Each structure stands twice: as C-alpha cells, then as structure tokens.
Amino acid sequence: MSSPSVFQKRIEGEWIGRPSLFDGEGTWRGFEDIRRSSVFADGETTYYMDGGLSGGGDMAGRFALGAPFAFGVRDSDADRLYTGPDFYGSGQPYGGFVDANYYGPGWQVSLNTWNHTVGDTQIYSSVLYQGPAMVGVFNGLYTRDPEREQRHLEHETRCGAVPFIVPTKQNSCYAGDLDVWSAAQKPLGGVRAELLTEPVDLLVSRRRLGLRGVLELDLAGRLRRDGVRTFYEGPGAWGNANSYGRANFVRLHTTDGRRIAGREFMMDAEPGMGAGHRLALVYQLFEHNSLSMIVHGVLERA
C-alpha cells in the first residue's frame, strides 16, 4: 500500500488519555496512563502504546505490563488486521468509528474495542473477556490536541469514575444528528436522534428513543435503574444495560426481531448530583440476528 487508508489519516498523531479500569461488575479499580500513536512508513502501519497502570486492585497483576505495546496493522478501509506481537485480530471502520476484536497475549484477554473519533477527541472503550466471561472494561476519552493535554488529564482523573446517569427529577431530551453506515461499511446518510426521559420516580422513568431520516425507529417503554444496572421493561423494547463509569452498554430487543447493541457515553459528566450534557452514541442495529447498520454521533442535552 502506497498511502494510508482514510481511517488511518483520520487518527494520525499522538493520542493522550487516562482511561479508567472497571471490573466486570462495574466497580472502578484504577487508571491506565496511555500515549498511543500509529505510524505509517514504507507501506506498513505500526501502533505504539506507552504508559502504565495506576491502582487496579486484584486486577493489577493482569493488566500491568513491564514494556510498551507495539503491533503491526495491515491497514485498509475494509479490514484492519492486527498482526502482533502484542495484539492479534481485526477491526472494521465505519467512518469515524471502528469496531475491533482481538487478543492481547500480555493481558491474556480477548478485547472488543470501540473507538469513536470526533475531531480531536476519541471516545474509547475496551471490553475484556476470558472466554465468554467479561472480566473488565477500560474506557475514557483521548485527545491529540497538545494544548489540551494537561486539562484533559485532569478532567479524566476527576471524572473517570463518575457513573452514567441522566436527570432523575426533570424531563430531559438529548438530541443531535447521527451518521448511518451499512453492515458492508457504506455510508447511508444521516438521522436526527432524540433520547427522551420522563422520570416517574428516582429509579424509574419512561424512555423514548427516536430516529428520523434514512432510518426510522421509535422505541418507548419503562426503564428501571438499580445501581449501575438498568432494565428496559417494554412495551417498545426489552433488555438491560450495565454502566462502567460514564459508559453505559445497552442490549435491547423488540418483538419484531430487531435488537440493538450499543454504548452511551456521557462525555462531560462531573462528580456531584447532576448529569452531563454531551452524550456520544454508538448503536449496532440487527435485523433477525444479522447486523444491518451502525449509527454513531454526539447528542446534546437541550
């Protein structure tokens, strides 16, 4: 390959972050200080990750590593193949979002990484698996703006453990425009999205997700919260979710054979008794158990 892919050009430069580590139940355990970059040279791409784990509790021995990561990538806008030695697997880009599944020998886990790039910010999560069991999650925000580096790291330190929550005593509406991609990685256009919440009490609300545009979707029902867990109790959608700090991972099912696997990330949530205003969404939409579309973007609270 004589030049990097469109996605590779999108993510060029050094990205700096302090993602948080959570155990499989959603309990915060520590930070991973990371500087990562990808270099295209002589027709090949190499990823570099340098940093270390702060804290970690009983997970520290598994996720601390005594050397920087480095691994090759066969770069294209169709598939990105990770060729080791530190990660083996593949990823598929959908515009500014990449969905990757790979194995890390040093950590001895399989990873499902979702990286959503919005300008100079990346909304990142890696869900860590031992066989079918989730053993942990890394998530956080990255920046490549050197002028924001110190403020960004201070923000991630202050906000990394903040739990995902929407307003519990007033109606709220998060709205914005999202990009839609086909399962074949082709852009389909855009949708206008609204996520409406009407609290019934401090733990129960009525929730409606509406998409209008190249994709039409209207899911409404009762939502019950129990700590970091939430339960969607119909009639428009059934399922559940678990949050890991600011990132809420949802699994929804409808009675007509559709389902959604998604991540809702509260980008600006701060410690205290409130909720954030910027919500980054990634939804994978399935029709009768087959992936049909990827939807991603950022919503703002009105």
212 and 152 in one domain? Answer: no
- Residue 265 and residue 184 share a domain: yes
Q: 194 and 103 in one domain?
A: no
Provide the pLDDT for residue 42.
74
For 146: left if phi > 0, alpha if psi spans -120 to 50, otherwise beta; the answer is alpha
Of 101, 128, 159, the position where a domain reaches its end is: 159
Cβ atoms of 100 and 80 within 8 Å: the answer is yes
Task: Assess if residue 98 is contained within a domain.
Answer: yes
State the amino acid at position 43 in one-letter form: G
CATH number for the domain that contains residue 218: 2.40.128.20
Co-location of 154 and 182 in the same domain:
no
For 74, residues 6+ apart whose C-beta sits below 8 A from its C-beta are 45, 80, 81, 83
* Averaged pLDDT, 67-92: 91
- Examine the domain organization and report whether 89 and 198 are in the same domain: no
Shared domain check, 180 and 147: no
pLDDT digits (tens, 9 = 90+) for 24-62: 999 999 999 999 988 887 777 888 999 889 999 999 999
The reply to whether 240 falls in a domain is yes
In this prediction, residue 1 carries a pLDDT of: 57
* Residue 282 and residue 235 share a domain: yes
pLDDT value of position 6: 87
Kindly report the pTM of this predicted structure: 0.95
Quick one: 12 and 139 in the same domain?
yes
Angle among Cα 266, 259, 206 to the nearest 5 degrees reads: 55
The residue whose two tokens read 């959570």 is 22
pLDDT at 20: 98
The structure tokens 């399989």 sit at: 110
Residue 1 falls inside a structural domain:
no
The SS3 assignment for 259 reads strand
- Same domain? For 209 and 281 the reply is yes
Do 189 and 151 share a structural domain? no
Q: Do residues 129 and 24 touch, judged by C-beta distance below 8 A?
A: no
**What phi and psi values does residue 273 have, to the nearest 5 degrees?**
-100, 65
Structural domain range at position 195: 172-301
Average pLDDT of 196-205? 98
66 and 24 within one domain: yes
The answer to whether residue 164 sits within a structural domain is no
Q: Work out the mean pLDDT of the chain and round it to a whole number.
A: 95
Whether residues 195 and 139 share a domain: the answer is no
Token pair listed for 9: 């050009």
Is residue 150, in this structure, part of any structural domain at all?
Answer: yes
Instruction: Please count the structural domains in the chain.
Output: 2
Q: Is residue 216 part of a domain?
A: yes
- Tell me if 49 sits within 8 A of 63, measured CB to CB: no
